[in-house]
């Protein structure tokens, strides 16, 4: 059975789709997937062993110059690629009008998606031949698992979903002789940031634990923040510019991760690493860390500054990490 998945972005949403693939593989022997995904996240689907072909799309970039000759050529090449296979099922797990109109409707095969009451953008359902009611008040992972089960006609499993990508990195990640944690300090929204002062307090508290800290970054302003946090702290390492696959290897080798609400926090969950995620204005109930060893600290005031460094350190103690020396 050959299935096309349309789940283009964002990083967390793409990762949240992986457990549904694992369910389908368990229920339907021999099933294989192609996956349409935004070019920036094109590495992720291939980490799952059931994905045969990754089809990058660049809607975010194309919108800036939709009718330019270069973009027109890219769009035609994408259309040809997506229409080259007759699929047994096409599942639009994005639930947005743009994904349905610009991607899903082009694919050859029975098109499945959420119905008017379930989709994030109700008009998207006009492009599906099979519309499914999916309960809203459940985690995003569970919504996608339910959509796949109804689209492919099997019973959704009752156990926790399995991303099934941790083993991809376990086979190629060599654990450092030194123990380290990763601090994911970067996120897109200002109100989701843990203030630099709090990070510095936490870094100082970590001095006596015998544990190194690694700071990844993506954009230049994030590198500058990481450099500032590391200044005068020999136990803190600012990592070089890394690809998503390289960041995943660092996370897979970590003993624990401390993160704000960001896509890399979901990647940590998918890799089954112990993870403490700090939440302020966002609600983790439906989109928080999903998986093994996931822990949350939620600000009672919804202000990130009201989460203290000592709270984070206490939560690390409670993980009973074997290397951790209580300062």
Task: Please say which residue of 116, 143, 164 terminates a domain.
Answer: 164
Considering the domain architecture, whether residues 30 and 128 belong to the same structural domain is answered as yes
- Count of helices and strands (H, E) across the chain: 12, 12
**pLDDT tens string 252-298:** 999 999 999 999 999 999 999 999 999 999 989 888 899 999 999 99
Q: Are residues 149 and 47 in the same domain?
A: yes
% of the chain exceeding 90 in pLDDT:
89
Total number of domains constituting the chain: 2
Last residue of a domain, one of 164, 188, 220: 164
- Under the banding of pLDDT at 50, 70 and 90, the label for residue 172 is low
Query: How many angstroms separate the Cα of 162 from the Cα of each of 104, 158, 271, 291?
Result: 26, 12, 10, 8
Which stretches of the chain are DSSP H helices?
A: 11-27, 59-62, 69-82, 97-102, 140-152, 166-170, 196-205, 220-230, 244-253, 263-270, 284-287, 309-318
Residues 48 and 102 in one domain: yes
Closest of 11, 2, 21 to residue 247, by C-alpha: 11
Could you tell me the residue range of the domain that residue 257 belongs to?
167-318
Domain end among 145, 164, 183: 164
pLDDT per position as a tens digit, 215-232? 999 999 999 999 999 999
Q: Distance (Å, rounded) from C-alpha 53 to C-alpha 26?
A: 20
Evaluate whether 95 touches 121 at the Cβ level (below 8 Å).
Answer: yes
Question: Do 157 and 181 sit in the same domain of this protein?
Answer: no
d(CA 280, CA 299): 5
The residues pairing with 238 across neighbouring beta strands, listed in sequence order, are 215
Q: What are phi and psi of 304, to 5 degrees?
A: -60, -35
In a domain, 26, yes or no: yes
Residue 185 CA to its chain's centroid (Å)? 16
Considering the chain, what is the average pLDDT of its residues? 94
- 12 and 152 inside one domain: yes
Look at residue 226 and tell me if it is in a domain: yes
Q: What is the model's pTM?
A: 0.93
In this predicted structure, what is the pLDDT of residue 320? 77
36 falls in which pLDDT band (50, 70, 90)?
A: very high
Whether the bond between 10 and the residue before it is cis, its omega within 30 degrees of 0, is: yes
pLDDT at 95 over 80: yes
160 and 256 fall within a common domain: no
CA 229 to chain centre: 25
Q: Is residue 324 part of a domain?
A: no
What is the average per-residue pLDDT within 83-96? Answer: 97
CA 7, 10, 11, 16: dihedral to nearest 10 degrees? -50
What is the number of alpha carbons within 13 Å of residue 262 lying toward its C-beta? 23
> The domain spanning residue 158 has which CATH number?
3.40.50.2000
């Amino acid at each position: 059975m050959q299935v096309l998945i349309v789940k283009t972005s964002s990083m967390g949403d793409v990762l949240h789709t992986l457990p549904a693939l694992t369910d389908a593989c368990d229920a339907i022997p021999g099933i294989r997937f192609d996956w349409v995904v935004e070019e920036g996240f094109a590495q992720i689907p291939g980490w799952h062993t059931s994905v045969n072909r990754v089809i990058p799309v660049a809607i975010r970039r194309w919108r800036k110059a939709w009718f330019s000759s270069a973009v027109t050529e890219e769009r035609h090449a994408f259309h040809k690629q997506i229409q080259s296979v007759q699929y047994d099922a096409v599942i639009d797990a994005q639930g947005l009008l743009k994904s349905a109109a610009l991607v899903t409707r082009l694919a050859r095969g029975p098109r499945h998606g959420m119905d008017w009451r379930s989709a994030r953008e109700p008009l998207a359902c006009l492009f599906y031949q099979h519309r499914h009611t999916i309960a809203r008040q459940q985690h995003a992972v569970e919504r996608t698992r339910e959509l796949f089960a109804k689209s492919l006609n099997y019973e959704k499993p009752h156990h926790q979903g399995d991303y099934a990508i941790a083993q991809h990195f376990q086979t190629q990640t060599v654990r450092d002789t030194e123990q380290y944690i990763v601090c994911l300090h970067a996120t897109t929204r200002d109100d989701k940031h843990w203030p630099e002062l709090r990070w510095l307090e936490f870094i100082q508290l970590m001095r006596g634990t015998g544990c190194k800290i690694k700071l990844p970054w993506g954009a230049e302003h994030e590198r500058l923040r990481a450099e500032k946090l590391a200044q005068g702290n020999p136990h803190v390492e600012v990592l070089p510019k890394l690809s998503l696959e390289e960041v995943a290897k660092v996370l897979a080798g970590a003993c624990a991760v401390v993160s704000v609400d960001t896509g890399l926090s979901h990647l940590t969950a998918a890799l089954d690493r112990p993870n403490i995620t700090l939440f302020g204005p966002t609600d983790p109930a439906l989109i928080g860390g999903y998986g093994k060893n996931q822990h949350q600290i939620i600000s009672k005031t919804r202000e990130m500054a009201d989460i203290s460094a000592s709270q984070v350190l206490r939560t690390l103690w409670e993980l009973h990490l074997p290397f951790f020396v209580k300062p």
